[in-house]
Amino acid sequence: MLYRDRRPLLVFLLLPLLLMAVFLYYPFVVNIYNSLFDIKGLIGKPGEFLGLGNFSTFFTRDPVAMRALRNSALMMPLSLVFQVGLGLVLALMVDSVRRGQQFFRIVFFFPIVISATAIGLMFSLFYSYEGGMLNQLMVLMGRDKVLWLSKERAYTMLVIPVLWQYVGFYFVILLAGVNAIPDEIFESAAMDGAAGLRRIWYITLPLLRDVLITCATLAVTGAIKVFDLPSVIARNGAPNGLTHFLGTYMHNQAFVAQNVDYGSAISIIIVLLGVLAAGLMTALMRRGGEAL
Amino acid sequence: MMSRVIGRGPVVLTRTVIYALLVLWASTTIFPFAWVLNNSFKDTSLVVGDSFSPAFEQVYRRDRNGVIVRQEVLKDDFGRERYDRMLFDEEGNPVLEKEQGSGELDPESPFAQLMGQSSFERSRPDSELQAYDTLKGSRVYDSASPAVRLSPIWDNYREAFTNPNVNILRGYRNSLVLSGSVTLGVMLLSAMMAYAMTRYVFKGKKVLRSLLVAALMFPAFSTIVPVYRMISSAGLFDTLQGVALVQVAGNLAFATTVMAGFISSLPYELEEAAFIDGAGVFRIFLRVILPLSKSALATVGIFTFIWSYNDLFLQMVLLRSRALMPVSAILREISSQYGTDFGLMAAAVVVVVVPMLIVYIALQQNIIKGLTAGAIKG
Amino acid sequence: MRKILALLLSLALLLSLSALSLAEGVTLKTVSTFAGTDAAAETYVALLKAWEDKTGNKIEDASSTGDEVFKAGVLNDFAAGNEADVLFFFAKTADSAPILGKVVPIEEINAAYPELNLPINTAIAEPDGVVYSIPVRPFWEGLFCNIDLFEQVGAELPTTWENLVDAIARFKDAGIVPIAVSFSDIPHYIADATVLSASSEADYLARPKAGDPIPQAWIDGNAKINELYELGAFPVDVNATTEAVTSQMFRDKKAAMQMDGSWFANGIPEENYDTTVVLPFPVTSAEAQPTAFMGGVSMGFYVSRKAWDDPARRDAAVDLLAYLTTGDNAVALAAFQFKGKLLESSFEMLNAGLTTMYGPIQDAMDPEARSYWFSQIPGIADGTVVPADAWKGVMELAPFGK
């Protein structure tokens, strides 16, 4: 009866929906429209109709784009394994020790608190060939200097800080989840003879299922948004455009090369990739859920 | 007391190993900052040459002959700087630059024509006295003046705070204003929307819900071009308000999802009791729902703040004036404009990081509680 | 209680007063490339500050290093109506073409403010013959050489391609980086210089439309980048480092050569003026002219139409323009402060090339095509991209119009 009068609904929904309509849904649709026409410059009027031309360029004639797609797509499983996975391992380990929980909780979270740009700067100080920290270490150990951002190594070197930064984030969430599991469950498990890794597998993980799903979703959607660290550490997808991510390449095309239609097309591919990954994850979770 | 999760039993991981691994990871998060802190007290040449020596070791600048460089150069009676191998003519006067054949620009050359009014600055009297054999020679320093120190120094910090191009304090203010208002806006609006969506039955609710899920999939990249146009035509370009509006819209979907998950779990009886006491919907929202959802609100607030604070992309596209740049954008400016000044960069990182760390350590209990309360439920 | 109230009230009064005094002057938006390591960056900031103090107006400045991001940002702002009031920006290039309708010709300013008599420099006239901006800084580009390093390894200065190749080998043996450059950051100068040094005048000035063939010399020229790469002429991390780092290597005498512009000369430390010289990039074909170099004026100060049409800001904007572009201030911003052998050798290059000064090809190119061209340079260097293919891709984007 309290909620039968629907007039207040307008008050509650108007402002947020208006904001989202103006700055999210409308531009999203316009963006799709833009990707079908030739547009020069951010404010350029749609010119020649290209249809899906931009998309076919992306998939058939632009090696940098394919590389960026691969880099971004690969980022998803990497985030799952290293951010959420490592976060989980650390959470389980911290939960199992008595002293220093507080300390680890503070210290592991450090990298999140600091702006990604600061971390980017720091890592460019590490990777620099002349005088970078890593090469100073190599010299100290009597080894040859290494080109850390070489063609073969650059992607790995870029992914490390991105992954490293968010481990603590998932660690904190997962640790709270582990801490929230009541002691009695473990006690009764112990009586049943479950211990060690078996206990983690059969008791802790199933109980953490919801938290893990939240973390996994955050990690996968975070993976397609990667932008700031690579844009600070490796200019223009250095070396040779090999370390572009979809986000940095989109920025490069739309805002630097003034190729707005192509940038719009890339951003649509970003969305599609996200939807695909989310769909895949939901499917996996459901099957996993039945198995558990 | 037995440990809860991993326990004893036939487990490979002993406690020592666990601690060792934890400390190992902790060192990966501590060491980089220690390294940066250490180098922020050094001159760039030293950061490049020897970044591992502790900054409290005193190191002085030396010229190419190994002489310690001092702040004052020895001057002659005419106030001219002395060099140990200045070029002198027979009468002992320093040879002027011009007389060494410094050359002239042919007035016929197209370049001279381009110069138009502006010309080379060449009439400053003492500038012609800069003639010295730099190949082998060097300045003669006034041994009474203090030596130029490379470590430990405060110069990097002085530069970070006084350089007109990189005003970090102002950057902090901008970051606080921007991320603070975005956070408040998102908290309030997402609570309103979540409340309406969980308590009311209305047509189009299903559509709205799937729109929200869809919005979770829209990264800023996919809306930025039209958003840039709209913000511009609304006169909000290069304003913090413009960035704030876009960030609020971008964070609402996630925040509403979290809030809705939480509010739907709240017992309906409290609201009913308030209603029977004569409270209206808005009163109930403000006095019952919001206080009950504190922990979820905190979650939403913290997530939003972290994302907004770290969101370089929108700031790069929608802001132009230096005076408006938040911390992340300022740091990017520093790296692109002073890319080789490692000392300055290290100091800038420290200046940006330390206040955040202090706030974090002071509030970490609340932050962690808030961060997880909503996330675990939702 | 009353005391506190009184205190609060007076505080409020003070605040509103200070707000009033702020509102007296106007606020101008400015943008320029006088920022970062530019030799005139500090001068520029000081000049603006002095002008603010003198006039009581305020300036919101958004200067940054003049890279592609900067160019695109200014163009986007113009297109969106967010342009600055007074700006230092590129002229006579593909970049300035879209803004000409939105800036005020100098002649029009002089007509309204005859007492200012602002200089009209025809060298910076746009294709329509109109001068829209006031240059303060002509530029040249050349190959900077650390002559002390050349003496150290006993190499001749790179006046010819053979000398260059020989010097590279000697530097490599001595552990000195022969040519400092970052292809991931600023490949611009070498990309242009290798084209010029392989082209006859006609070839260099060719502006083929989409579908037309391009001069073979352009392809051959860029191919030299790969040849240099194979000789080990560049830093190990040439495709991953930044320009700031490589420039520092040259200034620190850890690298022997760098292809760059006159603005770079300003950043050479004073004690190196006599050990640094600049030369035209050595020619690589018989048709090319050994004295040819790139130079001109590519930037000037503009007043935007938006500021001009706003009666409140018009006077202030014109005043600022005159302030920055005339007399000592203009000279200070030109920042040709270097001396010694460096200045001498630059005069030699300029005087020898009386009739062979050319604008860089990239300035005539459409941004999308140019951006593509530069993105191919790292690949051309390490041999993963064939120069002919790179140019084919550039031409598909119609760099000089359709």
Structure tokens of B105? 């620009």
**Which of the pair, C402 or A81, is modelled with greater confidence?**
A81
Contacts of B362 (CB under 8 A, 6+ apart): none
- Quick one: average pLDDT of C39-59? 89
C31, C172: one domain:
no
* Sign of the alpha-carbon dihedral angle for C287, C291, C294, C295: negative
Beta bridge partners of C316: none
Q: What is the pLDDT of residue C63?
A: 86
The answer on pLDDT for C27 being more than 80 is yes
In a domain, C280, yes or no: yes
Q: How many domains does chain C have?
A: 2
Q: How many CB atoms lie within 10 A of CB C6?
A: 10
3-state SS of C117-178? CCCCCHHHCCCCCCCCCECCCCEEEEEEEEHHHHHHHCCCCCCCHHHHHHHHHHHHHHCCEE
Nearest residue to C340 via CA among B90, B137, B122: B122
- Quick one: average pLDDT of B208-228? 89
**Which of the pair, C185 or B79, is modelled with greater confidence?**
C185
- Least confident among B55-59, C285-289, C319-323, C385-389: B55-59
Residue B258 C-alpha, separation from nearest chain A C-alpha, in angstroms: 10
- Least confident among B61-75, C83-97, C170-184: B61-75
Alpha carbon separation from C253 to B64, B233, B322, C147, C178 (Å, rounded) = 11, 50, 34, 10, 11
Max avg pLDDT among A142-151, B146-155, B346-355: A142-151
What's the length of chain A? Answer: 292
Q: What is the pLDDT of residue A221?
A: 84
In C20-116, the DSSP E strands lie at 27-31, 58-61, 86-90
Q: Name the residue with tokens 């050489």.
A: C145
C303, C356: one domain:
no
* Sign of the alpha-carbon dihedral angle for B194, B199, B202, B205: positive
Q: What is the pLDDT of residue A195?
A: 67
In a domain, C18, yes or no: no
Quote the percentage of chain A above a pLDDT of 90. 49
SS3 state of residue B127: helix
Counting as contact any 3 or more CB pairs under 8 A, the partners of A are B, C
Compute chain C's Rg from CA coordinates. 24
- Judge: C81–B232 Cβ closer than 8 Å, yes or no: yes
* Domain covering B168-337, topology: MetI-like fold (1.10.3720)
Rounded Cα distance between B50 and A131, Å, is 8
- Quick one: average pLDDT of C180-205? 95
Nearest residue to A168 via CA among B372, B349, B187: B372
Structure tokens of C20? 């009033």
Q: How many helices (H) and strands (E) does chain B have?
A: 15, 2
For residue C226, the domain's CATH number is 3.40.190.10
Q: Report residue B245's pLDDT band, with 50, 70 and 90 as the boundaries.
A: very high
- Quick one: average pLDDT of A237-265? 92
Q: Name the residue with tokens 């879209």.
A: C98
Beta bridge partners of C140: C295
- Within C135-282, residue ranges assigned H as helices are 147-153, 161-174, 188-196, 201-205, 216-230, 243-251, 262-266
The answer on pLDDT for B346 being more than 50 is yes
Alpha carbon separation from A162 to A62, A123, A167, A223, B220 (Å, rounded) = 25, 10, 9, 9, 19
**Which of the pair, C374 or B126, is modelled with greater confidence?**
C374
Dump pLDDT digits (tens) for C333-354.
876 778 778 888 998 999 888 8
Q: Which domain holds residue C70?
A: 27-138+297-325
C288, C308: one domain:
no
The answer on pLDDT for C21 being more than 60 is no
Q: What is the pLDDT of residue A94?
A: 92
Helix (H) or strand (E) holding A11: helix A7-20
Dump pLDDT digits (tens) for A2-11.
788 888 898 9
The answer on pLDDT for B332 being more than 50 is yes
Q: Name the residue with tokens 């370009």.
A: B237
In a domain, C53, yes or no: yes
How do the domains of chain A map onto residue ranges?
39-115+158-291
The answer on pLDDT for B206 being more than 50 is yes
Nearest residue to A39 via CA among A26, A30, A29, A49: A49
Cβ-in-10-Å burial (0-12, 13-18, 19+) of B97 comes to buried
SS3 state of residue A135: helix
Beta bridge partners of C143: C259, C279
- Quick one: average pLDDT of C258-269? 88
Closest residue to A31, CB basis, from B21, B35, B226: B226
In a domain, C10, yes or no: no
Rounded Cα distance between B315 and B329, Å, is 7
DSSP state, residue C283: P
Chain C contact set for B116 (CB, 8 A): 119, 121, 123, 135
- Residue of B4, B264, B332 to mutate for A, most A C-beta atoms under 10 A: B4
Q: What is the pLDDT of residue B126?
A: 43
Q: Name the residue with tokens 């054999």.
A: B133
**Which of the pair, B307 or C222, is modelled with greater confidence?**
C222
Angle between helices C188-196 and C216-230 (to 10 degrees): 120
Dump pLDDT digits (tens) for B305-329.
888 988 888 998 899 888 889 988 8
On whether any CB of chain C is under 8 Å from the CB of A154, the answer is yes
Alpha carbon separation from B120 to B37, B111, C90, C376 (Å, rounded) = 43, 12, 22, 38
- Judge: C79–A43 Cβ closer than 8 Å, yes or no: yes
Closest residue to A23, CB basis, from B19, B249, B349: B249
Nearest residue to C184 via CA among A292, A129, B60: A129
The answer on pLDDT for C10 being more than 60 is no
> Which amino acid, A223?
A
Dump pLDDT digits (tens) for A118-131.
788 788 878 988 87
- Residue of B129, B141, B320 to mutate for C, most C C-beta atoms under 10 A: B320
Structure tokens of A60? 């058939």
Q: What is the pLDDT of residue C15?
A: 44
Alpha carbon separation from A46 to A36, A259, C78, C81 (Å, rounded) = 9, 12, 18, 18
C306, C219: one domain:
no
- Judge: B109–C353 Cβ closer than 8 Å, yes or no: yes
The answer on pLDDT for A189 being more than 90 is no
Q: Report residue B362's pLDDT band, with 50, 70 and 90 as the boundaries.
A: confident
Mean pLDDT taken over chain C: 88
Rounded Cα distance between C241 and C207, Å, is 32
Closest residue to B228, CB basis, from C65, C80, C274: C80
Q: Report residue B352's pLDDT band, with 50, 70 and 90 as the boundaries.
A: confident
**Which of the pair, B124 or B306, is modelled with greater confidence?**
B306
Contacts of A53 (CB under 8 A, 6+ apart): none
- Least confident among B26-30, C20-24, C166-170: C20-24
On whether any CB of chain C is under 8 Å from the CB of B340, the answer is yes
C97, C203: one domain:
no
Residues 60-89 of A with CB under 8 A from B: none
Q: Name the residue with tokens 């991320």.
A: B179
How do the domains of chain B map onto residue ranges?
15-60, 168-337
Structure tokens of C84? 């600055």
In a domain, C167, yes or no: yes
Rounded Cα distance between C98 and C93, Å, is 10
Contacts of A150 (CB under 8 A, 6+ apart): A239, C237, C240
C69, C209: one domain:
no
Q: Name the residue with tokens 């990667």.
A: A226
Which value does ipTM take for this structure? 0.86
Q: What is the pLDDT of residue A258?
A: 86
Top CATH class of A39-115+158-291 equals mainly alpha
Instruction: Find the angle CA(C32)-CA(C328)-CA(B102) to the nearest 5 degrees.
Output: 100
Rounded Cα distance between C192 and C215, Å, is 14
Q: Report residue B159's pLDDT band, with 50, 70 and 90 as the boundaries.
A: confident
Beta bridge partners of C276: C146
C268, C359: one domain:
yes
Q: Report residue A288's pLDDT band, with 50, 70 and 90 as the boundaries.
A: low
- Least confident among A62-66, C94-98, C316-320: C94-98
